[in-house]
Structure 1
Amino acid sequence: MKITHTDLPGVLILEPKIFGDARGFFMESFNQKVFNEAVGKNVSFVQDNHSRSARGVLRGLHYQLQFPQAKLVRVTRGAVFDVAVDVRRGSENFGKWVGVELNEDNRKQLWIPEGFAHGFLVLSDSADFLYKTNEYYYPEYERTIFWNDPAVGICWGIDSPVVSAKDAAGALLVAAETYALDAVS
């Protein structure tokens, strides 16, 4: 597995080795030992999620204020532009973001540790998006940052994505409830 560090410390791009021939391909999509070595700690996943979305759907930017979730995300069909935003007050990277295209051909995965908001935009006709979390989902603790918050400045490449009512009612980062740096480090 190839590990690439992003501009946000802790956020990693993982690229599995792919073995292909005329019959198709094989890849090891997850190996606990290799993964723990890559992220530098033992991570136990408790939930796997799968969503399907149409072109132009933007989901996020989500995080759980209590019971913070780390996520290992990937796309098995289609393509998305996937984004992580540092929402740890006191971090030198607070409000900064990184984005990467995840698609069925590059088979890249993105590791998003606790303390980061997450979102993605579907670039293909539809996309199947899979992710593992190290904490259960608690809707009462979920928070949302506006996808187009000018203080964050994500370059989504779209002016009018399709968003849920919940995401449309998000908060600006400056007014949002966020983490203390030491609460999720």
Structure 2
Amino acid sequence: MRVERGALDGVLLFIPTQHHDDRGFFTRTFDAALAREHGLDPAAFIQDSQSRSRRGVIRALHGRGGQGEAKLVRCARGAVHDVLVDARPESPTFGRQMATVLDDETFAHLYVPRGLLHGYQALTDQADVCYRIDREHDPEEDIAVRYDDPDLAIAWPLPVSVISPRDLAAQSWARVRQRLLAPT
């Protein structure tokens, strides 16, 4: 498994080595020693979740306030266009975004540090996304920014097929940014 740094501060991409033969393939999907080597505490991840989406579905852009939430994200089936927005006011990459494709060919894992907004669009007929999360969910801490916010101008690759009512009601980046930058 190799590790690459993402375009946003603290983001890592873990890319497993696949071993193919006549039966198919084998790959390691998580390595605690490698996680520790790159500054992650493998024991901190307390919850695993999975979602399934159809082509064109966007699930975005979600994050947590308070202490935030770190996660490892991978696509176990199909492919997704994965997007991160840095919502950490103290970060050198605050307000910037990055995108990467996660799929069931490379099985790359995206490490999303606390304080980033995360979303994705399904690129295949079915896309299963798996999350390994380091905090219990607290709905009071949810942060959501509209997927089509003009200030972010995210280039989603496909026409949108479905958006949840929650995501349609999300706030603008300008409003969330103002709240994040307000003195406490």
Tell me whether the two structures share a fold, i.e. TM-score over 0.5.
yes
The residue aligned with 1:98 is: 98
The residue aligned with 1:124 is: 124
SS at match of 1:35: helix
Point out where structure 1 has 5 or more consecutive residues left out of the alignment. 181-185
Point out where structure 2 has 5 or more consecutive residues left out of the alignment. none
The residue aligned with 2:139 is: 139
The residue aligned with 1:9 is: 9
Can you list the C-alpha shifts for 1:65-119, whole angstroms capped at 9, x where unaligned? 1241111000111110011110012433221111111111121111100010000
The residue aligned with 1:49 is: 49
- 2:113, 2:22 → 1: CA distance? 37
- 2:11, 2:164 → 1: CA distance? 26
- 1:164, 1:134 → 2: CA distance? 25
> How many positions carry a matched residue from both structures?
180
Residue type of the alignment partner of 1:101: V
Shift of 1:42: 2.2
The residue aligned with 1:151 is: 151
Shift of 1:153: 2.1
The residue aligned with 2:162 is: 162
TM-score, length-scaled by structure 2:
0.91
- 1:16, 1:158 → 2: CA distance? 27
- 1:144, 1:107 → 2: CA distance? 27
The residue aligned with 2:19 is: 19
SS at match of 2:174: helix
Matched ranges for 1:47-126 at <5 A = 47-126=47-126
Can you list the C-alpha shifts for 1:139-166, whole angstroms capped at 9, x where unaligned? 2211101111122221112343411000
Residue type of the alignment partner of 2:35: F
- 1:142, 1:83 → 2: CA distance? 17
Q: CA RMSD in A?
A: 1.7
- 2:59, 2:113 → 1: CA distance? 18
Contact 1:67 1:135 in 2 (8 A): no
The residue aligned with 2:37 is: 37
Can you list the C-alpha shifts for 1:8-56, whole angstroms capped at 9, x where unaligned? 1211111011111011111111111111212x24241010001111111
TM-score, length-scaled by structure 1:
0.91
Q: Matched residues, percent identical?
A: 36
Shift of 1:137: 1.1
